[in-house]
Amino acid sequence: MNQLVDRYFESLRGKKLLVLGIGVSNRPLIRMLLGRGLSVTACDKTPRERLEPEVLELEREGACLHVGEGYLDGLSADVVFRTPGMHPNIPELVRLREQGAEITSEMEAFFEVCPCTILGVTGSDGKTTTTTLISRILEHAGRRVFVGGNIGSPLLPLAGSMGPDDLAVVELSSFQLMTMTRSPQIAVVTNLAPNHLDMHRDMAEYVAAKENIYLHQDAGGKLVLNMDNAITASFAGKAKGSVELFSRLGVPENGVYLKDGTIYRNGKPIMAQADILIPGLHNVENYMAAACAVEGLASDADIDAVARTFGGVEHRIELVRTLNGVKWYNDSIASSPSRTIAGLHSFTQKLILIAGGYDKHIPFEVLGPEICAHCKTLILCGATADKIRRAVTSAPEYRPGFPEIAEADTLAGAVELARKAAVPGDVVTLSPACAAFDQFKNFMVRGETYKKLVMELEK
C-alpha cells in the first residue's frame, strides 16, 4: 500500500470536508473519504428530486447532501474539494478561503500522494489524443500505466495500488491547473489558442492556468512544447528543467520534427508519417508530442507500432459510416475554432460541415476564411449559428453560394439537411467549433446523438 495515501487521509481526520460537485468524477472521492471514516458534506446544484440513485446511495453511506439552487450558501469547512469546472475565485470560494479553508481538488490531492512519475498533458487542442497515445506507447513498452484527469478514471482512489515503477498519464484542463501547486515530472503543452473564455476572465488568465503544468517543476523536470505555436514556444525560457520541442515547420535544436514525410528525433528517424493511421496534420503533431514525452521510457519501435494500429479516440474525426458513397465523420470534440480548423485540414476535398453550439465567447473570425476554403456546404445549428454565419460571410474569400449556407433548429435537422446536400464522394463532418451545452450535456452526448442519427439514415 502507498503510505503517502494513508498519511494524507489521516491528516484530514477531525476536519470538516466539503466536496463541491457530485458528478461522476467526484463520486469515487466521496466514497473514498467516507470509507476512511471522514465527515463529508457533498454539494451540488442539482435539486434533490433530480439526483441520481448513486448520489442518494452516498447519502445512505454517510454523506451529508447540500443540494439545489442555494447549494453554495452558508457553507463552512476546513478543506474544500472543488469540481474542476468551478472557477476558484467565485465569491463563495473566496469567502471560504478567507475563513481559513484549504481549497483543493481530487487531482491536486492525487499529485500530493502519487508515488510514481506523472506525465501531464494540456493544451487547447489534442490533449486527449496525445494523452492516449502516450499511454498506449508506454503500455506497448511493457510499462504499467494509469490514465486519468479529464479522461479515464479518477486517480486518487487508485493511488494506493500504485508503485514507484508505475507511470501515471494525466490530461489536465485549464480549470484543473488553475490552483495547482505541483507539476508533473514530464509536462506536455500541445498548443494554445483562445478557449473557455466563458469561464476564464480573459486570455491571460487562461494561459496562466496552463503554465501551472510546468512552473512547479524542479531541475529534473522535462517540458515538451509546440515550437510552431507562438504562445507555447514562449514558455521555454521559463522552464526550470529540460525542454524538448516538436515542430512540423522547422528543426528544433532539441526535439522531434517532420521533414520530407519522416518524423525525426535530433536527426534520427523515428517513423514514416504514412505509418500514422489517424488522419490530419494535427495528429502528426500529437505523435511528435508523444514521442518527446516517452523518450527514455519507450523505444521508437513502440511509437511506430502504435501509429500503425491506433484508430483514434471516439468523437475525434471518427468515421461513423459510409452511406451511398458519402462518408460521415464525428468530430464532436471540436469545441473551438482551432480544433475545427485542424479537422478541416485533415481532408483533401471540400466538405459538408455541421457547426454551431454553445457560446463560449471566443472569436470566430479566424474560422470564416477556413470554411470558405475547405467547405462546399455549411450547415449551422445552435446558439452560435448567427456568429459563425457572420464570420463566414464577412471573410474576404466569401462569395454568395461558396459555401452554401443552411440552418437547422436541431442536430437532427442538420443531419437531414446534410443528407439532402450530399452526393456520392462527399464527406460530411460534425465539427462544431463550440461546446455542446446549449443542447447537450457534453460533447460526448452530442457525438453519440449524431452517430445514432447517422446510423438511422436509410439507404
- Whether the pLDDT of residue 458 is over 90: the answer is no
> Considering just the CA atoms, what is the radius of gyration of the chain in Å?
23
pLDDT of residue 199: 65
Residue 296 has a CB neighbour count (10 Å cut-off) of 8
User: What does 263-278 look like in DSSP terms, one character per residue?
Assistant: EEETTEEEEEGGG--S
Share of the chain above pLDDT 70, in %: 98
Give residue 200's pLDDT: 60
Mean pLDDT, to the nearest integer, of 229-238?
A: 96
* Residues with Cβ within 8 Å of residue 435, at least 6 apart in sequence: 335, 357, 358, 360, 443
- The per-residue DSSP string of 29-69 comes to HHHHHHHTT--EEEEESS-GGG--HHHHHHHHTTPEEEEST
Query: Bigger pLDDT: 87 or 400?
Result: 400
Residues 301-330 have a mean pLDDT of 91
Phi and psi, residue 28, nearest 5°: -60, -35
What is the CB neighbour count within 10 angstroms for residue 164? Answer: 9
Determine the pLDDT at residue 109: 94
Whether the per-residue pLDDT at 459 is higher than 80: the answer is: no
Domains and their CATH numbers in the chain: 15-104 (3.40.50.720), 108-309 (3.40.1190.10), 318-455 (3.90.190.20)
pLDDT of residue 314: 81
- So what's the pLDDT on residue 196? 55
Q: Which residues contact 142 (CB under 8 A, 6 or more apart)?
A: none
Per-residue confidence at 309, pLDDT binned at 50, 70, 90?
confident
CA distances from 131 to 148, 240, 284, 312 (A): 9, 23, 14, 12
Q: HSE (CB half, 13 Å, CA atoms) of 403?
A: 27
How far, in Å, CA of 181 to CA of 213, rounded? 9
Q: 287, 388 in Cβ contact below 8 A? A: no
pLDDT tens profile 7-29: 999 999 999 999 999 988 889 99
Q: What is the pLDDT of residue 201?
A: 67
Using a pLDDT cut of 90, give the percent of the chain over it.
Answer: 81
| Averaged pLDDT score across all residues of the chain | 93
What's the pLDDT tens digit per position in 136-183? 999 999 999 999 988 878 899 899 999 999 999 999 988 889 989 999
* Strands 167-171 vs 102-104: parallel, antiparallel or unpaired: unpaired
Angle, CA of 6, 8 and 9, to the nearest 5°: 70
The top-scoring range by mean pLDDT among 43-47, 151-155, 196-200 is 43-47
Mutual angle of helices 337-344 and 367-374, in 10-degree steps = 20
Amino acid letter for position 6: D
* pLDDT single digits (tens) 28-42: 999 999 999 999 999
Please say if the pLDDT value at position 195 is more than 60.
Answer: no
For 124, residues 6+ apart whose C-beta sits below 8 A from its C-beta are 190, 191, 192, 193, 194, 195, 336, 338, 339
313-340 average pLDDT score: 90
Which pTM value belongs to this model? 0.78
- 4 or 411: which carries more pLDDT confidence? 411
Residues 379, 418 contacting (CB under 8 angstroms): yes
Please determine, for residue 198, whether its predicted confidence score (pLDDT) is greater than 80: no
Q: Does residue 197 surpass a pLDDT of 70? A: no
In the predicted model, is pLDDT for residue 1 greater than 60?
no
Sign of CA dihedral 280, 387, 335, 286: positive
pLDDT at 158: 92
- Residue 237: helix, strand or coil by DSSP? helix
